[in-house]
Every structure is written in structure tokens, then in C-alpha cells.
Amino acid sequence: MSKSSVTPARTKRVGAQLTPEAIIEASLRIAARGSADAFTVRRLGEELGADPTAIYRHFRDKDELLLSVADRTLGEVLDSIPDGLDWKDRLRALAAGSLAVALKYPAVSSIMASRTTRRTNEFRVVELILGAVTEAGLDGAEAAVHYRMVGDSLLAHVGQRAAYLLLDPESRAGDESSWNREYRLVDAHGFPNITRLAQQLAEVTDDQIFHARVEALITAIEQRAAAVREA
Amino acid sequence: MSKSSVTPARTKRVGAQLTPEAIIEASLRIAARGSADAFTVRRLGEELGADPTAIYRHFRDKDELLLSVADRTLGEVLDSIPDGLDWKDRLRALAAGSLAVALKYPAVSSIMASRTTRRTNEFRVVELILGAVTEAGLDGAEAAVHYRMVGDSLLAHVGQRAAYLLLDPESRAGDESSWNREYRLVDAHGFPNITRLAQQLAEVTDDQIFHARVEALITAIEQRAAAVREA
DNA sequence: CGCCGTTGTCAACGGTGTTGCGCGAAGTCG
DNA sequence: CGACTTCGCGCAACACCGTTGACAACGGCG
């Protein structure tokens, strides 16, 4: 105890087959395969060529591993954002990057939709959004609330899309075709708007929705900043 | 086949202990208890005083039951919306009602955040939102996209809040305290905005965020309608 | 009455995350 | 250099999950 607590960092065995890094990378490889139930401890062991339970020597439980993996994907998002953009385009780039990464690792981001990693890359994302709303002209409590609005909305939308990707094929088929089936058959008297817009509802694309949601966030910040400036 | 298809409704046994109704109500009772893993087939059997697998005589699988239960909760939402509101207040009432129901049955709405029930009450909600955006002045593809924006955003936010409620206590404690712990300790040079706004970030309430998100949706519809009117 | 479909029970299957035990090798120290 | 400790790993097992198939009891109907 006396000596080991003096040099705790050196305790690492050189010949350790598994490292947190290797486990995280294997997790990403599995998550990228996309199939719904892909990311299990046993499959992770398979991918690593090791016993599944060996993972527990490096992460307390699957949740802690997941947080680490998720933070790694946040790093990918940040790397995709170019410098020199104004606040609006920075938020747009963040949104687009988040979506791309979420669709790349759906198993991860669907679970993380309502979590925080509390790790370094998350701090960088928070800083980025706060910088954007600050540049837009908000500060103090206003900035804090609008950061949370942007962060939570982005996370939620991206998690939604990822979760949808993970649905078993039959459930997804049911959801997908509903606009062309169930919604076409509703009673025209009771549901005039659905009846009138059935065709357009079936034609809406995910990208249109995503665009509308992102622009709504930007507009909201803009409006609030304008109101503050006036006061 | 010939006779049973003539009177399919009468096939019901009079003495049937279990009915779809009873199962849905038991599910709601369990979901309302709130604990994370509460809603399992075995616990449902316990609540019903029957064998867990008896449920499969009335629902194809747990997913189908879940869709039915979710649609029932949508009914509760609709019942909470008063008549005679203009489109903005109708959307606000829908949002508030959805949140209230989601927090009442977190186990249900957290799973349903990226699903559609394709059942009657969902049609009514869709009709309601479409009516609102129509009243706001949108039509055709514009109305369809903005309906999806509102519907998906609402579902996502509400599912997020519900999922958070279901987190095991230690994870939730970690997430909750992070604004007062990890975020207070970041490097002031690398993260000036976080450092400056740490106090305000810790003080943001869920209701403030919810309000901001709902108003952002309304503002976006308003702006789009104004732009369309001008053209 | 006797058939038959419906409904509940029971045991079991394959899957999940997780833990306790033992082994063997790497690092430390007399 | 040998003994001792430490620790990463494999193995077997546990509790729980959703789901299935066989079987028994029961009611309605010919």
C-alpha cells in the first residue's frame, strides 16, 4: 500500500493485452456495424478476441464504457467542424456533424440521447455552443438556457434518428409505410387535415425535418438576442 | 372458418379473466410506478395475478402491447387540452399535456420517443398539430414539414425527460451534480465561456428549457407563415 | 354428447449484464 | 536470484429478460 500509492501510474502492466483504448475502438467498430443488438458485452469480447468479462477489469460497467465511447464520438464531431465560421454556420456544422456521427454509430448515440458524458470532448462541445450563443448576443441566464435548448434538441433529434435506424426491420417497415397506409384511410370528416395533406406527409424527408429543426433553433436565438438588444 | 368469420366479435369468452383492456391498465399502473426496469412481462403477470406468458394470448409481443399502451397515454394527453384555444395556445397545451403524461408514465414514453403508434389517438394528435399549423397560415409541403418538426421535437423532448427519470439513481446523481462539479473545474483559459457561465448553467431548470424549446417551435412556424404570406 | 377453438399454466430456450474464483505471468523486494 | 505480491484474464455461474411450445381446462356449437 505504502509503495504502490506512491507510484500508482506505473502500476500498468506492459504486457497487458487489453487497454481502455483498444476496448473503446472495438466498441466503435461494433457500433458502426449498425445492427440493432450489435453492441453487447459478449460480442465485444469476440471482437477483441478475449473473454467478454475481461472488459470489467478496465471499466466498472457497461455504462461507464458507453460514456467513454460516446465521448470519443463527440471528438469525431468536433474534428469535422471547420474554423472561421460565424455562430450560425458553426451551429449548423455542429448539427450536421452530430447527425453524421450518430448515423455512423447508431447504437451509441441512441442510448446517449438523454445522458451527459462529463468527459473532455463534451466540455468542448458545450464551450462551442456557449461561444455561439454569446456571439449571437446572449449572456448570463439567457445564454445558459439557450445553450441547453440547443444541446438537448440536437442530442434528442440525433438520438431519435439513430434509434429509428436500430428498429427491427418489421417495426421500421410498419412505421415507414404508415404514411402511405393507415394515414390514407382515416375518416375524411373527422380528420380533414390529415386527409388533405396525406400525400405531402408521405413525402416529407428526414433531412427536411432536420433542417427545419436546426433553423428553428437559430431563429429562436436570433429573436431572443434581438429582443435583449432592444431592451 | 365460415362461421367464426361471420361473428368474430362474439368469439370472446365471457369468463375470460384477461382482456386487452385489463392488460393495458395493468401496464399503465406499473409504468406509473416509475422505477426504471419496472415494466417487464413477468412483473406484468404479477400485477395481473396471472402467468406472465398469458399476455401473449392478447398481444403478439411486448412491442404491440407497448404501442397500445402508448396510444392510451396519448388519449390522456388529448383529454387534457381544452377547446377554444388559438393555434399557439393549442400547441402549448399539447406540449404541457405531453410532458405531464410522459412524467407520469416514464417507462412508456421513453421507449416511444422514436416510434409511432399508428393508432386512433395518434391520428387525433396529428390532426391537432396539422390544424394548428394550418391555422397559422401554412399549407401543403410547408405544413407537412412543420408538423413533423413539432411532432418529433415534442416526442423527443418528452422522451428525453422520461428517460432521465428512469436512470438509476447513481447515474442521475452524476449527471445532476456535473454542473456543480466537473464543469466548475475546467481550465479557464481553454473554456472561458464555461468558466464565465458555470453558475448560470447550474441554475437552469428543466421547465425553462422546455419553455424555450416550445416557444422556438411556435416562433419558427410564425416566421415561416409570415414569409409565405409575403411571397 | 363430443368436437374444437380459446385461454391460462408450466417448463424451457437463448439472450443479456455481471460476479466470484482460480490461474498464471509480470513486477517488486529481500 | 528466488520468494512474494499483484493483477489481467478465463471460466463457470447467477439473475433477469422476452418468447415459444406442449398441455390442460373450459365454453360454445353442431
pLDDT at B35: 79
Q: Does A143 lie at the interface with B, CB-CB under 8 angstroms?
A: yes
Count interface pairs A-B at CB distance under 8 A. Answer: 183
Which is more confident, B167 or A143?
A143
What does the pLDDT read at residue B175?
81
**pLDDT score at B161:** 93
Average pLDDT of the segment spanning B89-101: 98
**Quick one: average pLDDT of B196-222?**
96
* Predicted confidence (pLDDT) per residue in B128-166, tens digit: 999 999 999 999 999 999 999 999 999 999 999 999 998
Kindly report the number of other CB atoms within 10 A of residue B198's CB atom.
19
Q: What are phi and psi of A82, to 5 degrees?
A: -70, 160
Alpha-carbon distance of B100 to A123, in angstroms, equals 31
The per-residue pLDDT for range B59-87, each reduced to its tens digit, is 999 999 999 999 999 999 999 999 999 99
- Helical spans, DSSP H, in A34-61: 41-48
Rounded average pLDDT over A198-207? 95
Kindly tell me the burial class for residue A147, based on how many C-beta atoms sit within 10 Å of its own C-beta (0-12, 13-18, 19 or more). buried
Kindly report the bases of strand C lying within 7 A of a protein C-beta atom: 5-12, 15-20, 25-29
Q: Specify whether the CB–CB gap between A55 and A23 falls below 8 A.
A: yes
Residue A76 to residues A96, A101, B13, B172: CA-CA distances in angstroms? Answer: 12, 7, 59, 26
Q: Which three cell numbers stand for residue A123?
A: 466540455
> How confident is the prediction for chain B on average, in pLDDT?
91
Tell me which nucleotides of strand D come within 7 A of a protein CB: 6-13, 16-21, 26-30
Instruction: Give A12 CA → D7 C1' in Å.
Output: 9
Q: What confidence tier does A18 reach under pLDDT thresholds 50, 70, 90?
A: confident
A186 contacts B216? CB cut-off 8 A = no
Residue with cell 465560421: A85
pLDDT at B8 over 60: no
A223 touches chain B (CB under 8 A): yes
* Whether the predicted pLDDT of B2 surpasses 50: no
Is the confidence at residue A133, as pLDDT, over 70? yes
Alpha-carbon gap, residue A113 to A27, rounded angstroms: 18
pLDDT beyond 60 at B13: no
Q: What pLDDT does residue A13 have? A: 53
Res B3: pLDDT = 37
Which of B109, B139, B149 is most worth mutating to test chain A (most A CB atoms within 10 A of its CB)? B149
Region of A137 on the Ramachandran plot (φ > 0 left; ψ -120 to 50 alpha; else beta):
left
Structure confidence by residue, pLDDT tens digits, B21-71? 999 999 999 999 877 778 999 999 999 999 999 999 999 999 999 999 999
pLDDT confidence of residue B93: 98
Condensed to tens digits (0 to 9), the pLDDT of residues A79-114 reads: 999 999 999 999 999 999 999 999 999 999 999 998
Q: Quick check: B194 pLDDT over 50? A: yes
Output the distance from B48 CA to C4 C1' rounded to whole Å: 28
Eight-class DSSP state of A216: H
Cα separation of A134 and A224, whole Å?
12
pLDDT at B150: 98
Phi-psi domain of A168 (left: phi exceeds 0; alpha: psi -120 through 50; beta: other): beta
Joined grid coordinates for residue A124: 468542448
Given its phi and psi angles, is residue B139 left (phi above 0), alpha (psi -120 to 50 degrees) or beta? beta
Residue nearest to nucleotide D7 (CA to C1'): A13
Q: Which residue has the higher pLDDT, B168 or A91?
A: A91
Backbone angles phi, psi at A177, to 5 degrees: -80, -10
pLDDT for residue B177: 86
User: Does pLDDT of A1 surpass 70?
Assistant: no
A23 within 8 A of A30, measured Cβ to Cβ: no
Share of chain A above pLDDT 70, in %: 93
Range scoring the smallest mean pLDDT among A169-178, A210-219, B33-42, B43-52:
A169-178
Domains of chain A: 72-230 (1.10.357.10)
Amino acid found at A7: T
Between B7 and B123, whose confidence is greater?
A: B123
Kindly state the helix (H) or strand (E) to which residue A66 belongs, with its residue range: helix A62-79
Q: At what angle do helices B20-33 and B41-48 cross, to 10 degrees?
A: 110
pLDDT at B18: 87
